[in-house]
């Protein structure tokens, strides 16, 4: 079920009413309803893959229980590895099997050995990368004794399958989300209203910004050989806004929906395109994934400790794995590697934690220096996004090669004026709200309520009038 | 909680009312199909593809033949070839109480052919997933189902298109279902359009298998449906010679087949292709507005003559 679909528009109020009016007396019924609703939500795509979620839930619940009883270090480690192998095994099979087979075949043919590939027609279960990482975080935290294992299976099942963030995150840590299933939720007016506001902004980002940018970006990327350099640049910039609007929009809807049910999820995007360097960008982009890799991969590898060589190695590993997490294609691996290349100079010069505050925090506008820094960071990001969007590495290279000629200074062949105006409005609102959890969280609070309501009404009407055809969220494929 | 529900409901009611107002604005300027799917049930119909949608003027048929408000329920070659989806849509559009209706069934080899790649597979025929197959309610105004499920442009186009009527290359569906297309009429544009159309249909030909039993059977079902409620005329709308050549390659004995079918069902077949030089075309495939009027006039006289003969 898509957040931007009629199905969800019917599903959400039904679950909301049942949750607060029918099962609100008992915690276990609240949790049970969340599990049922989540399974319906997921099963809407393909009910067969519910078995995977259920199996993953059972495995990690059982491993957690076993870890609670097991004191022996070796046995605990075995239990951890059982969970890792099963979870990553599913992920590896569904997501990477064909990639590895294809690459083995190519490697063999390079050495003159022709082998018959045995690829399978595998359907990637929606959201598998997200819930796999979420359940893994539980087992690892229990193994490290950072978290008490739960004995309550329904709570755990609700944590794994929680529908607002099941298919595209944010990837919640068990330490943050699971305890929220242990206490009965009480309705709080302000929290619910805030949730609705965040949903509204998320829908605007997805439907008005991302989907409309997608139309232009897709047209330009698909026909890139016939466009001028300036048009290609425009296509890459539109893709940058498409992916931001798409993914951060999804996160906003997920967080907002969770708030309607009394839950607090962590912020997943903190206005990343206002970053002044790449280190700041990665602290603000897909925060739940970046911190997951930081805590469960980067730090165990040694992080920023040890020799410079080790530090560089660790940065490359985390970025390349992060790229590979996004998809079984060399384009994602190069996208990750390129970001590592951007990041390493900052690490080596000890400048990776320079910009930890909000840009121009106490000013209306950024300084010229900040503007240049943001421009440079955004430009580097856009170059990397070309690899992310391209069908193949050669296409990405060809695309970039074609942007480096004199037609860069000509008027683009595609000029979507409406969309440029929307983007300008969007950037202005995001800038004005950059100090908050999401852009419109408190943006118009100084104005009387009727004015605020009128603004929300206008945003809703823009979603209705300017929303394109319902499109899937990009991150569903990951 | 009550306060939340009250405020949210109020906001949603205002919002939904605004959506409804926008949908209510939708009319013949919205797109080439909406008006036809939001008009009341009809007693007399013209069915077929875009050639019929643009080429047959219902008011001319009414005035010459004497039919009573015949309605043009033709769409496009991709959306309304004869098949289950179009048949069911026609059935829903038809006012079954009337027994003295007039029905014009426009036939072309394209609407009776199978597409090699897109036709029947496990998912059905392509038009089953198009608006014609998806729209269950074809007599609702505003037709929210169509606007939500099948209207391709953004909703702002409902408002914007209202102000584009009469401008460069626009369409307008009249109250009687006739699709009025405004297009440049200079010779150069016409030559380019014709060349492109021939090229695209030539390419299309390679994707088609030719005659389709499935579509043929649904044409027969459509004739039978109409026969229960009035007089039925099978009509072939003219195109230029080059287009005709392509159609002859698609189904070589098309006219003979339709002739036999018409005789079997005792419904006249009016093959206007024989007079294709008498008309002017926007792209070799569709009649111009003036030629459409002339064609409708000629067709109405032919129908009238045949009616007198049969009486």
Low-confidence ranges of chain B (pLDDT < 50): none
Chain B, nearest residue to A466 by Cα: B154
Contacts of B4 in chain A (CB under 8 A): 187, 189, 192-193
Summary count for chain B: helices (H), strands (E): 12, 9
Tally Cβ neighbours within 10 Å of residue B257.
17
What is the rounded average pLDDT for all residues in chain A? 91
Could you give the angle at which helices A50-69 and A153-161 cross, rounded to 10 degrees? 130
Q: What number is the average pLDDT over the span A222-244?
A: 94
Q: Helices marked H in A261-367 — which ranges? A: 278-284, 287-293, 299-301, 308-326, 330-348
What is the per-residue pLDDT across A274-332, written as a single tens digit (0 to 9) for each? 999 999 999 999 999 999 999 999 999 988 888 888 999 999 999 999 999 888 889 99
> What per-residue confidence (pLDDT) applies to A477?
56
Domain assignments of chain B as residue spans, ordered by start? 25-310
| Average confidence (pLDDT) over A86-110 | 80
Cα separation, A330 vs A327, whole angstroms:
8
Which residues of chain B are at the A interface, by a Cβ-Cβ cutoff of 8 Å? 1, 3-4, 7-8, 11, 14-15, 18-19, 22, 148, 152, 154-156, 159
Q: Give the count of beta carbons closer than 10 Å to the beta carbon of residue A99.
A: 16
* Percentage above 90 pLDDT, chain A: 73
Residues in A closer than 8 angstroms to B154, CB to CB, are 465-468
A104 reaches B (C-beta below 8 A): no
| Inter-chain CB proximity A465 and B156 less than 8 Å | yes
Q: Measure the CA–CA gap between A165 and A161, rounded to whole angstroms.
A: 8
Contact A343, A282 (CB under 8 A): yes
Instruction: Say whether pLDDT at A341 is over 60.
Output: yes
Beta-ladder partners of B105: B47, B234
Which residues contact residue B283 at a Cβ distance below 8 angstroms, ignoring those fewer than 6 apart? B190, B193, B194, B196, B197
Distance of CA A472 to the CA centre of its chain: 14
Residue of chain A whose Cα is closest to the Cα of B155: A465
Neighbour tally for B93: CB within 10 Å = 20
Contact B155 A464 (CB under 8 A): yes
Place of tokens 């528009």: A9
The two structure tokens encoding residue A85: 């192998």
Q: Which two tokens stand for residue A470?
A: 């319902």
SS3 B233: strand
Give pTM, 2 decimals: 0.87
DSSP state of A413: S
Residue A471, pLDDT above cutoff 70:
no
Classify residue B228 by burial, with Cβ atoms within 10 Å: 0-12, 13-18, 19+.
Answer: exposed
CATH 3.40.50 fits B25-310, yes or no: yes
Of A20, A465, A466, the CB nearest to B1: A20
How far is Cα A293 from Cα A322, in angstroms, rounded to an integer?
Answer: 8
- How many whole angstroms separate alpha carbon B15 and alpha carbon B22? 11
Q: How far is CA B246 from CA A261, B193, B243, B269, in A?
A: 62, 17, 5, 21
- Cβ proximity of A193 and A259 under 8 Å: no
CB half-sphere exposure, B83, CA atoms < 13 A: 26
């Amino acid at each position: 079920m898509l957040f931007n679909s009629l199905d969800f528009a019917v599903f959400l109020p039904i679950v909301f009413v049942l949750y607060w009016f029918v099962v609100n007396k008992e915690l276990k019924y609240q949790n049970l309803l969340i599990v049922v609703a989540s399974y319906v939500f997921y099963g809407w795509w393909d009910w067969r893959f519910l078995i995977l979620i259920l199996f993953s839930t059972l495995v990690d619940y059982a491993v957690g229980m076993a870890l609670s009883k097991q004191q022996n270090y070796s046995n605990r480690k075995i239990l951890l590895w059982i969970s890792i192998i099963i979870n990553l095994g599913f992920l590896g099979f569904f997501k990477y099997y064909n990639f590895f087979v294809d690459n083995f075949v190519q490697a063999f043919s390079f050495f003159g050995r022709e082998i018959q590939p045995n690829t399978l027609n595998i359907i990637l279960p929606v959201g598998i990368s997200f819930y796999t990482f979420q359940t893994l975080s539980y087992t690892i935290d229990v193994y490290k004794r950072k978290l008490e294992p739960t004995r309550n299976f329904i709570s755990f099942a609700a944590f794994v399958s929680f529908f607002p963030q099941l298919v595209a995150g944010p990837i919640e840590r068990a330490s943050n989300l699971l305890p929220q299933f242990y206490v009965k939720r009480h309705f709080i007016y302000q929290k619910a209203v805030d949730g609705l506001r965040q949903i509204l902004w998320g829908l605007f980002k997805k439907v008005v910004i991302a989907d409309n940018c997608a139309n232009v970006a897709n047209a330009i990327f698909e026909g890139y050989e016939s466009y001028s350099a300036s048009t290609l640049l425009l296509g890459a910039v539109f893709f940058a806004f498409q992916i931001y609007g798409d993914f951060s929009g999804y996160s906003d809807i997920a967080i907002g929906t969770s708030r309607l049910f009394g839950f607090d999820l962590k912020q997943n995007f903190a206005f990343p395109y206002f970053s002044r360097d790449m280190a700041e960008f990665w602290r603000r982009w897909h925060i739940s994934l970046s911190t997951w890799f930081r805590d469960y991969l980067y730090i165990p590898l040694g992080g920023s400790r040890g020799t410079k060589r080790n530090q560089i190695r660790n940065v490359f590993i985390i970025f390349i794995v992060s790229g590979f997490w996004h998809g079984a294609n060399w384009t994602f691996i190069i996208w990750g590697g390129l970001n590592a290349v951007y990041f390493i100079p900052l690490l080596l010069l000890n400048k990776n934690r320079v910009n930890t505050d909000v840009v121009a925090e106490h000013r209306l506008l950024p300084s010229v220096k900040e503007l240049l820094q943001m421009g440079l960071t955004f430009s580097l990001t856009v170059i990397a996004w070309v690899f992310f969007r391209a069908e193949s590495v050669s296409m990405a290279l060809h695309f970039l090669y074609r942007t480096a000629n004199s037609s860069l200074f000509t008027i683009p062949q595609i000029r979507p004026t409406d969309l440029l105006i929307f983007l300008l409005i969007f950037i202005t609102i995001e800038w004005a709200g950059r100090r908050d959890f999401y852009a419109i969280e408190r943006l118009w609070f100084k104005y009387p309520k009727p004015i605020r309501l009128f603004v929300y009404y206008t945003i809703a009407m823009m979603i209705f009038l300017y929303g394109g055809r319902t499109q899937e969220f990009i991150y569903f494929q990951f | 909680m009550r306060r939340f529900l009250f405020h949210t409901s109020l906001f949603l009611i205002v919002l939904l009312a605004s959506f409804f107002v926008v949908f209510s604005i939708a009319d013949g300027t919205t797109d080439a199909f909406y008006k036809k799917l939001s008009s009341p049930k009809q007693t007399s119909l013209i069915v077929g593809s875009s050639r019929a949608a643009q080429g047959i003027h219902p008011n001319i048929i009414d005035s010459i033949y004497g039919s009573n408000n015949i309605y043009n329920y033709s769409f496009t070659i991709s959306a309304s070839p004869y098949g289950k989806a179009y048949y069911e849509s026609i059935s829903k559009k038809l006012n079954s109480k009337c027994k003295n209706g007039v029905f014009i069934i426009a036939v072309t080899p394209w609407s009776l052919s199978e597409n090699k790649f897109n036709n029947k597979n496990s998912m059905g025929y392509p038009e089953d997933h198009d608006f014609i197959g998806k729209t269950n309610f074809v007599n609702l105004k505003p037709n929210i189902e169509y606007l939500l499920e099948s209207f391709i442009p953004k909703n702002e186009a409902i408002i914007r298109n209202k102000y584009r009527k009469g401008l460069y290359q626009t369409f307008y569906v009249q109250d009687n279902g006739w699709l009025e297309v405004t297009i440049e009429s200079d010779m150069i544009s016409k030559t380019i359009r014709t060349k492109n159309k021939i090229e695209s249909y030539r390419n299309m030909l390679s994707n088609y298998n030719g005659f389709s039993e499935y579509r043929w059977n649904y044409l027969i079902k459509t004739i039978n449906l109409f026969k229960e409620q009035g007089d039925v005329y099978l009509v072939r709308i003219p195109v230029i010679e080059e287009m005709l050549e392509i159609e002859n390659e698609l189904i070589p004995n098309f006219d003979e087949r339709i002739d036999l079918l018409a005789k079997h069902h005792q419904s006249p077949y009016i093959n206007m292709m024989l007079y294709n030089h008498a008309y002017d075309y926007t792209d070799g495939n569709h009649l111009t507005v003036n030629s459409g009027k002339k064609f409708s006039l000629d067709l109405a006289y032919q129908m009238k003559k045949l009616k007198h003969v049969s009486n």
